[in-house]
A and B are shown apart, each in its own frame.
Chain A
Amino acid sequence: MIHIESIEDVQRAMRACAHVLPRGGGSKPALSVPPPDVEELDLSNLKGVVEYNPGEYTFTARAGTRIDEVQALLAGHGQYLPFDPPLAEHGATLGGTLAAGLSGPGRYRYGGVRDFILGVRLVDGTGQLVRGGGKVVKNAAGFDIPKLMVGSLGRFGVLVELTFKVFPQADAFTTVRQPCAKLESAVAALERVYLARLDVDSLDLMPGEGGSATVWVRLAGMPGVLHARAERVRALLGGGDVLDGTDDFLAWREAREFTWVPPGWTLVKVPLTPGRIAGLEAILDPLQAQRRYSGGGNVAWVALPDTVPAQRLDGILLPAGLAGLILFGPAGKVRIGARENEVFERRVKAVFDPAGRLPDLA
């Protein structure tokens, strides 16, 4: 493992090593354990906020900066990361979160990590330092390289510095939790909220025992009207408990930090749409998986017991036309299931990494 202290260190390592794998906080082990003959670059010391001006709604930080440190800084100015980065308490870094393309349940309101990245600096596979995007909230000059880095898993470069857009944090939160005896009624409730003219912060669904499922709806905003708004949500859900304060906080922390995933299990991200929840539930049935649907049913988090190899999920997702990304579990092939046409991606890869130094966790 090479301990990176500076951007020059990354450039040097890139020129010296045949194969590298960048690692931020190691909070997504399947993505950060190097295969044999691959040099791991530990970026956790390439850290620190370089620039933050609350009036601009932007900040720039080194890629190895821990998310929780950024969150504390922003909170001091009443601001937050609207894509609600997961695994912050597990040490997730800005670079690792962007490269993995991960957003938390709060992404439902204003968008995911792709919607808040403004600029990047990266070291490409030839050791060059490349900048893309800018430091202002709006910029249409040149190709959108920052977005290309979202979900790239280090394929095109080692991220060294990032600029994000941030938003003012809401004053208060509340959550409505509605347990439903049947999955179908939970999905129908979720869809009613999905289509309603409401400003919902988070919208999740979690299947439980015996075909039941619970819908979770979080609201954020002015404290004085939160409960009136929660009543509208309850009317749509056909009831539900209202959670405030710590209860509200803990409910979403569980989702964001994946504390519902039993230790040792494999965790897989599967993008989908709300209309496909029931179908996925049916095909997952034989796997004894635990599931949580987040982002209004735009992503399934699927946890598999260690007795079920991830390849089985691969075999199930592929014919369903769904893709998966393994976050916890054995390293190796982390992208499973369906793949979009790769012509375009291969051409891009050749530009950034002609010698194939950067990871191909395919």
Chain B
Amino acid sequence: MDNHALQALIDALTSLYPPDRLLSKAGELAPYESDALTAYRVRPAVVVIPETQDEVIQTVKLCHAHKVPFVARGSGTSLSGGSLPVKDGIVIALNRLNHILKLDPRERIAVVEAGTINLDITKAAAPYDLYYAPDPSSQQICTIGGNVAFNSGGAHCLKYGMTSNHILGLKVVLPDGQVVRLGGESTEAVGPDLVGLFVGSEGLFGIVLEITVRLLPRPEKYHTLLAAYSTLEAAGEAVSRVVASGLLPGALEIMDRLAIQAAEAAVHPNYPKGAQAILIVELEGEPEEVSEETQRLEQVIRESGAYEVRVAQDASDRQRIWKGRKSAFSAVGRLSPDYIVQDGVVPRSRLSEALAEIKRLGEQYGLRVANVFHAGDGNLHPLILYDGREAGALERAEKLAGEILDLCIRFGGSITGEHGVAVEKRDYLPRMYSETDLDVMWRLRCAIDPEQIANPGKMFPPGTGGNGVVSPVAHSTNLHPLDQAGIISRE
């Protein structure tokens, strides 16, 4: 990195931002050094905290003029290192760009700034009996900009789709400072789906300023059922039965024994005693329809061998069931000082097989693995427990995490269902796509961001590009790929 360029950029930023919104002291930078992939930290040169879209645009223009890399940051809850800073780059923290610009119940849309918290959209829409459907477990803190960058999911993807299925339009500042609008306000469109391409681009195509989301009418009735099983396989088998029954539940979630233990320790959801696995199924919609579907569901669950079945009697019951599930990631912190949250997808019909294999791998590595997952989507979230103070433990856990990804690929699934590739999985992307496929993606990245200043070092493995077009963070030593890339240091 050219220090003059960086200094010139910082000088320019100083006239754009007041001192309290341009952070450069070590103490101020510390909270921005990592995201929820906490094993990795990088100190950026500065953090800026824009309050207006124009400040973001000016900042990107300056970065482009000085060829200094930038990383957009929402709430920093990325689990794959998406908002990990770049050394000698800047972080653009978007939490204050959080205005709901328009909420039009008649058109069932909202236009929000990128730093708006996911749940705040639903809160704003609630008076009209509308809501924003995608509900990552982090929805109380994560931003819609982060959701767009990662095409985030949640517990209701099977029926409602991911973030991408709910985004109608975007206003974006491209890495060269140009502002473009993609999409519009309708669910229908003419021309290539550029919004679709942008969602999930992990910050590599520039910074999203404004997002038009579609809102859905709030389901009138929920039927939330919790079934306890004495083996994890039986719970997996129950999912296949539900799917085969022709029902389309809003959510189909499984937690295994270790995950249940963690949830009990943290939020006391009071799940059935002795369960090796619990299955949460939620039907939702018009009351008449839900009550018909309930009968079918209850028969399927009875036949699936559940030893205890509970049905939420009211909203607070329902909330208690979901609280245990949604807090599972953080709750695992009660069981272990450190853990890795993995995210992979297998074909649903191979869930049981995959879980058995994960169990075997855990035993082989001498590590405990808790499983919480979106069973309806085949989207696994193995939580690998380790103690970072133990020499070599992190490396072992990472190796196990890697083996789980290999398993997902082998089974015909994906290395990520919703947490993204970013830093954590960039070395695995070439195992999922051919050289040609990756080359096209890389050239897309370069066409949109020729200087490679928007979130460099993410998604693509170091060295991608070849022929002299080397990612600015690529170096080669014998260290861990991330250390090699010069973008991380360990705690």
Residues on A facing B (Cβ under 8 Å): 53-57, 78, 101, 103, 107, 110-112, 114-115, 124, 128-132, 134-153, 155-156, 167-169, 171, 191, 194-199, 221-222, 224-225, 228-229, 232, 269-275, 295, 298-299, 323-325, 335, 339-341, 343-345, 347-348, 350-352
Give the contact stretch, choosing among B4-12, B270-278, B384-392, B408-416. B408-416
Of A53, A198, A269, which is in contact with the most chain B CB atoms at under 10 Å from its CB? A198
For residue B346, which residue of chain A has the nearest CB? Answer: A136
Report whether A114 and B153 are in contact in the complex, using a CB–CB cutoff of 8 Å.
no
B217 is contacted by which of A138, A168, A195, A339 (Cβ under 8 Å)?
A195
Report whether A348 and B434 are in contact in the complex, using a CB–CB cutoff of 8 Å.
no
CB distance from A69 to the nearest CB of B (A): 22
* Cβ-closest 10 pairs across A and B: A147-B196, A222-B292, A225-B288, A271-B188, A139-B414, A271-B186, A299-B188, A150-B193, A138-B417, A152-B192
- 17 A-B residue pairs with Cβ-Cβ distance under 8 Å, sorted by A, are A55-B348, A57-B243, A112-B188, A130-B437, A140-B418, A142-B429, A144-B197, A147-B193, A150-B192, A155-B192, A169-B246, A225-B291, A271-B184, A275-B104, A323-B191, A345-B194, A351-B443
Main secondary structure of the interface of A (DSSP, over half): mixed
Fill in one digit per residue for B412-448: 1 if any A CB lies within 8 Å of its CB, else 0. 1111111111000100010011101110110111011
Given contacts A197-B217, A198-B217, contact A140 B200 (CB under 8 A): yes
Which residues from chain B contact A344 at a C-beta distance below 8 Å? Answer: 174, 180, 182, 194, 448
Q: Does B244 contact A (CB under 8 A)?
A: yes
CB distance from B251 to the nearest CB of A (A): 13
CB distance from A88 to the nearest CB of B (A): 18
CA distance A132 to B441 in the complex (A): 9
Which residues from chain B contact A149 at a C-beta distance below 8 Å? Answer: 192-193
CA distance A225 to B220 in the complex (A): 16
Which residues from chain B contact A345 at a C-beta distance below 8 Å? Answer: 191-192, 194
Give the contact stretch, choosing among B106-114, B259-267, B362-370. B106-114
Report whether B188 and A139 are in contact in the complex, using a CB–CB cutoff of 8 Å.
no
CA distance A36 to B200 in the complex (A): 39
Fill in one digit per residue for B103-133: 1 if any A CB lies within 8 Å of its CB, else 0. 0111111000000000000000000111000
Q: Does B162 contact A (CB under 8 A)?
A: yes
CB distance from A338 to the nearest CB of B (A): 9
CA distance A306 to B258 in the complex (A): 69
Fill in one digit per residue for B369-380: 1 if any A CB lies within 8 Å of its CB, else 0. 000001001110
CB distance from B464 to the nearest CB of A (A): 12
Task: Please provide the chain B residues from 169 to 196 with a CB less than 8 Å away from any CB of chain A in the complex.
Answer: 174, 178, 180-196
Of A139, A191, A299, which is in contact with the most chain B CB atoms at under 10 Å from its CB? A139
Task: Please provide the chain B residues from 153 to 173 with a CB less than 8 Å away from any CB of chain A in the complex.
Answer: 153, 157-159, 161-162, 164-165
CA distance A167 to B106 in the complex (A): 29
A142 is contacted by which of B129, B217, B289, B432 (Cβ under 8 Å)?
B432
The total of Cβ contacts below 8 Å across the A-B interface reads 268
Report whether A295 and B188 are in contact in the complex, using a CB–CB cutoff of 8 Å.
yes
Given contacts A139-B345, A199-B285, contact A323 B190 (CB under 8 A): yes
CB distance from B212 to the nearest CB of A (A): 11
Report whether A139 and B417 are in contact in the complex, using a CB–CB cutoff of 8 Å.
yes
CB distance from B264 to the nearest CB of A (A): 28
Of B191, B415, B429, which is in contact with the most chain A CB atoms at under 10 Å from its CB? B191
CA distance A145 to B201 in the complex (A): 10
Which residues from chain A contact B174 at a C-beta distance below 8 Å? Answer: 343-344
Report whether B196 and A150 are in contact in the complex, using a CB–CB cutoff of 8 Å.
yes
For residue B150, which residue of chain A has the nearest CB? Answer: A140
CA distance A32 to B183 in the complex (A): 25
Which residues from chain A contact B185 at a C-beta distance below 8 Å? Answer: 273
Which residues from chain B contact A222 at a C-beta distance below 8 Å? Answer: 289, 292-293
Task: Please provide the chain B residues from 236 to 287 with a CB less than 8 Å away from any CB of chain A in the complex.
Answer: 240, 243-244, 246-248, 285-286
Which residues from chain A contact B195 at a C-beta distance below 8 Å? Answer: 147
Q: Does B459 contact A (CB under 8 A)?
A: yes
Q: Does B359 contact A (CB under 8 A)?
A: no
Of A53, A224, A341, which is in contact with the most chain B CB atoms at under 10 Å from its CB? A341
Which residues from chain B contact A54 at a C-beta distance below 8 Å? Answer: 244
Report whether A138 and B153 are in contact in the complex, using a CB–CB cutoff of 8 Å.
yes
Task: Please provide the chain B residues from 212 to 249 with a CB less than 8 Å away from any CB of chain A in the complex.
Answer: 217-220, 240, 243-244, 246-248
For residue A98, which residue of chain B has the nearest CB? Answer: B193
Q: Does B46 contact A (CB under 8 A)?
A: no
CA distance A345 to B194 in the complex (A): 7
CA distance A278 to B128 in the complex (A): 23
CA distance A343 to B195 in the complex (A): 14
Report whether A137 and B349 are in contact in the complex, using a CB–CB cutoff of 8 Å.
no
Report whether B374 and A138 are in contact in the complex, using a CB–CB cutoff of 8 Å.
yes
Given contacts A136-B345, A168-B246, contact A142 B433 (CB under 8 A): yes
Which residues from chain A contact B440 at a C-beta distance below 8 Å? Answer: 124, 128, 130, 132, 145, 351-352
CA distance A142 to B347 in the complex (A): 19
Report whether A348 and B444 are in contact in the complex, using a CB–CB cutoff of 8 Å.
yes
Task: Please provide the chain B residues from 318 to 358 with a CB less than 8 Å away from any CB of chain A in the complex.
Answer: 345-349
B414 is contacted by which of A141, A343, A351, A352 (Cβ under 8 Å)?
A141
Which residues from chain B contact A335 at a C-beta distance below 8 Å? Answer: 190-191
Given contacts A56-B348, A195-B217, contact A340 B191 (CB under 8 A): yes
B378 is contacted by which of A136, A146, A340, A343 (Cβ under 8 Å)?
A136
CB distance from B149 to the nearest CB of A (A): 11
